[in-house]
A and B are shown apart, each in its own frame.
Chain A
């Protein structure tokens, strides 16, 4: 326990009143000691406090014995405890090195010891731009340039770039037409256009640098991060994920209600190079025959299908027109039209592209 005592006062007594002096002395000394105790900065604690002076923080781990305190006593007890703890903290702070800053005594705080969570994650280093990479490769250093440049024509200091810059060639009031140029060419417009092109190129490069920095890439196969994915996209993503295994999805189990994929298998089939020579010969001869003949080749099924599609389209258009007018008859006409269509056209093959209309009572 440390107790500080300042230099005691020295009492001079007259030699005549010896007894009185000694009593006075004793009393004075006792008073002094009491006063000292009151003003002491020492605090007695079982366990030392833990200090984090960088944060002006102190933690007291001592047991708080007094329980079931009433209101008034509790406040006083808390106050006394706070006073003791604060005294210890202040003692610690006063041990720090001080300096004088503008007539004020200031104590330099050490590093904080309590680790507290950050507000945001630490910043990621930005990838260098194209120019920065090149400069590093070549060893080009950045040269510090002056802000203002002397402009001869305006006879004043102007900024190097930006609004009202020095030596702006688009602002020339007189441009000499060079000998090699076309006399009818507008030189002013030419300069303006060149500037616009430079600006656009710069902007493009800037955006490219940003895109490279943020690594915004579209995935080749798979889901683009969108709010709503459509059913086909999800199905595609599932099938891609399934086939991305070492055995290309052959041994992947399917979910209970999952249907087998529709368009799997080879997309195009080629005949083997050295196979059946006879069939190859036949194929080639037939091909030559068709190419040599003058009559056009007609595929009956294809023609019929085209015809049927045309009819359906016309009917749908007519239905829409009728539907806009009166909705009652829509059902009847649709049923009738559709029922008749395929049966009616079954036998109408022949004759290249002629359109035949067999619809009763629609004109």
Chain B
């Protein structure tokens, strides 16, 4: 690849396709996740990381023996084109530590350190599982998720983390996975259920839930939030994505839509209201009124 001051220009079609897949796009695809294991991890942390990896397949990459240093993470995220990361570690001061984080332009945007108090893994709950890659339904319960600033950001990060690819339509029978987050007394409970659609009297089914999948009891430890302007910058959408406003259309309170048509000025003297034979202009009539109406015979 020819290099020009750090800018790489591809020479083959394959490399060009690769670079295009990594370049910034108007509408972005699903974010990839790096799941990293720190230097010292306990059994709980390892199993938990593996469970989340299986939840997030195929958009996740597993790394081992990583460090928490920021340049390390930046390097890895650039290498593998991942913008979400999850780092698990264990030490005496912070046992069973999970750090959820996301990047903007390969720099750290937000980071949340959550401690695992209780963890039940996938293998411990013996029920049938659904195929990986199903888009989960996310439910957040607790008014703290909307009042506290930290929790607001955490909610946004968890949505980003677990939502899966953006799809235009979803198969009704395939809505199987539900992730439920509850905040209670400073703790965050994450439960994962399988959704059974039972017959009810009408079209909408009745839901029965079956616990499946990992269940976590988190406690929020440290946070590293992005500054407000960086956060705003990260949310900036390109102009092309903004919905185009249709002009001359307005809506009523009742939902009736009105349109406005702009006309040119009409010459009202030339306006013909009715088609009556008697009112039709005849040849030679206006020119000479004294003449005999010869034409009258022809018309009849």
A residues near B, CB below 8 A?
A: 4-6, 36, 39-41, 54-64, 67, 74-75, 78-79, 81-83, 85-87, 89-91, 93-94, 98-99, 101, 104-109, 112, 114-123, 207, 210-211, 214, 216
A109 to B202, CA, bound (A): 21
Residues on B with beta carbons closer than 8 Å to the beta carbon of A78 = 180, 182, 189, 191
A60 to B178, CA, bound (A): 14
Residues on A with beta carbons closer than 8 Å to the beta carbon of B156 = 114, 116-117
B172 adjacent to chain A (CB < 8 Å): yes
Interface size class of B (residues with CB under 8 A): 35 or more
Closest beta carbon of chain A to B112's beta carbon, Å: 14
Q: A59-B140, A107-B172 are in contact. List 11 more A-B contacts (CB 8 A).
A: A5-B201, A39-B200, A78-B189, A83-B209, A87-B207, A98-B172, A106-B170, A117-B104, A120-B28, A121-B105, A123-B26
Residues on B with beta carbons closer than 8 Å to the beta carbon of A115 = 235
Contact between chains at B159 and A114 (CB < 8 Å): yes
Closest beta carbon of chain A to B244's beta carbon, Å: 14
Residues on B with beta carbons closer than 8 Å to the beta carbon of A81 = 141, 180, 182
Contact between chains at B201 and A105 (CB < 8 Å): no
Contact between chains at A122 and B31 (CB < 8 Å): no
The 8 tightest CB contacts between A and B, nearest first, are A117-B234, A122-B238, A120-B24, A82-B180, A60-B141, A94-B204, A6-B201, A119-B83
Contact between chains at B209 and A86 (CB < 8 Å): yes
A56 to B185, CA, bound (A): 26
Residues on B with beta carbons closer than 8 Å to the beta carbon of A101 = 169
Closest beta carbon of chain B to A118's beta carbon, Å: 6
A39-B199, A122-B236 given; A109·B175 CB < 8 A: no
- Do most interface residues of chain A lie in helix, strand or loop, or is the interface mixed? mixed
Contact between chains at B163 and A55 (CB < 8 Å): yes
B104 in complex: contacting residue of A104, A114, A119, CB < 8 Å: A119
A62-B143, A81-B141, A120-B105 given; A107·B206 CB < 8 A: no
Contact between chains at A41 and B205 (CB < 8 Å): yes
B297 adjacent to chain A (CB < 8 Å): no
Contact between chains at B24 and A83 (CB < 8 Å): no
A210 to B6, CA, bound (A): 12
A107 to B7, CA, bound (A): 44
A60-B142, A115-B235 given; A79·B159 CB < 8 A: no
Contact between chains at A85 and B139 (CB < 8 Å): yes
Name the interface residues of B1-48: CB closer than 8 Å to any CB of A. Answer: 2, 4-5, 7, 9, 23-26, 28, 31
B203 adjacent to chain A (CB < 8 Å): yes
A105 to B169, CA, bound (A): 10
